A = this chain, B = another copy of it.
């Protein structure tokens, strides 16, 4: 593991690190905010999965998570959103290929060799960070924005027991029925794949989530039609899951929205992580 940068931040350290991933077969970069408490022993961890076009850096720089994480003594991991590099498949569109891994393991050409973001987030990166840093594997939570909200919701439901709490900012809720989902799941998994196995609203209906859930989405989200928040709202209500869904008046899809509600999400996760 290589140290790319380390900056003192809210009494802790905002680091950026590089490592070789078996899952993706590439070098990967991630951000990690480690609060001061990590000097005394393992701290709880919040995974923050980012959206389309983002790298590890966007949320680390714009989401305003570190101050609240420092206050709660929680580490935050900011993974990249896909494998990258000259030898990694890509697409000219912003929403396919590099920067758009969708948190699934691709089975189809040309994506299969490197696009294994579910395995990367669930196995490969955890084995790296829990080995290298004072993080408590028994106190993990997950959140994400947009495509990363889809990732947080689906990974938590596909891997019950792994996360103590789940939240999302403007998540893609129903990719099996959206242009943000059908295109990518078709490319990565094949047009005949079971898209619903990677659809948060479907998973909520069929498997549910046995930990607390918080979702915030803006009423002025410019991608609202693609997110299909109504599918998740319906699924949560049908399932009678322990959940809070908030439609935030006037907010859009930007980091100005995400940062506005970061305190609430960090408090929410803190309650579960320290329970």
- Identify the A interface with B (CB < 8 A): 7-11, 14, 61-62, 64, 66-67, 218, 220, 248-252, 254-257, 259-260, 263
- Copies of this chain present in the complex amount to 2
Are B250 and A61 within 8 A (Cβ)?
no
Name A253's closest neighbour in chain B (CB-CB).
B7
Q: How far is the CA of A260 from the CA of B10 in the complex (A)?
A: 5
Cβ–Cβ contact B67 & A9, under 8 A: no
Given the complex of chains A and B, what is the CA–CA distance between A167 and B62 in angstroms? 23
Beta-carbon contact of B8 and A259 below 8 Å: no
Which of B7, B9, B251, B256 lies in contact with A66, CB distance below 8 A?
B256
Could you tell me if A9 and B260 are in contact, using CB atoms closer than 8 angstroms? yes
Q: How far apart sit A254 and B14, CA to CA, in the bound complex (Å)?
A: 11
Assembled-state Cα–Cα distance A252/B15 (Å):
13
Task: Tell me the complex Cα distance, A77–B5, Å.
Answer: 30
- On chain B, the residues within 8 Å of A263 by CB distance are 67
B67 near A8 with CB under 8 A, answer no
Question: Would you call B67 and A259 a contact (CB within 8 A)?
Answer: yes
Asked if A260 and B11 make an inter-chain contact with CB atoms under 8 angstroms apart, the answer reads: yes
- Which residues from B are CB-within-8-Å of A252? 7-8
Of chain B, the residue at the smallest CB distance from A61 is B62
Contact A220 to B250, CB < 8 A, known contacts A61-B61, A66-B259, A259-B66? no
Q: How far is the CA of A178 from the CA of B260 in the complex (A)?
A: 39
A7 contacts B67, C-beta separation under 8 Å: no
Residue numbers in B under 8 Å from A254 (CB-CB)? 7
A256 with B67, Cβ < 8 A, contacts A61-B61, A61-B62, A62-B62 known: no
Q: Are A250 and B8 in contact (CB under 8 A)?
A: yes
Q: Chain B's nearest CB lies how many Å from the CB of A28? A: 21
**Highest count of chain B CB atoms <10 Å: which of A218, A248, A249, A251:** A251
Query: Chain B contacts of A248 at CB under 8 A?
Result: 8
Question: Distance in Å from the Cβ of A139 to the closest Cβ of chain B?
Answer: 24
Q: Are B259 and A64 in contact (CB under 8 A)?
A: yes
Asked whether B64 lies within 8 Å of A256 as measured between CB atoms, the reply is no
Could you show 29 A-B contacts with beta carbons less than 8 Å apart? Answer: A7-B251, A7-B252, A7-B254, A7-B256, A7-B257, A8-B248, A8-B249, A8-B250, A8-B251, A8-B252, A8-B256, A8-B257, A8-B260, A9-B256, A9-B260, A10-B259, A10-B260, A11-B260, A14-B256, A61-B61, A61-B62, A61-B255, A62-B62, A64-B64, A64-B67, A64-B259, A66-B256, A67-B259, A67-B263
Please measure, in the bound complex, the distance between the C-alpha atom of A254 and the C-alpha atom of B66, giving whole angstroms.
14
Minimum C-beta distance from A165 to chain B (A) = 22
In whole Å, how far is A12's beta carbon from the nearest beta carbon of chain B?
Answer: 9
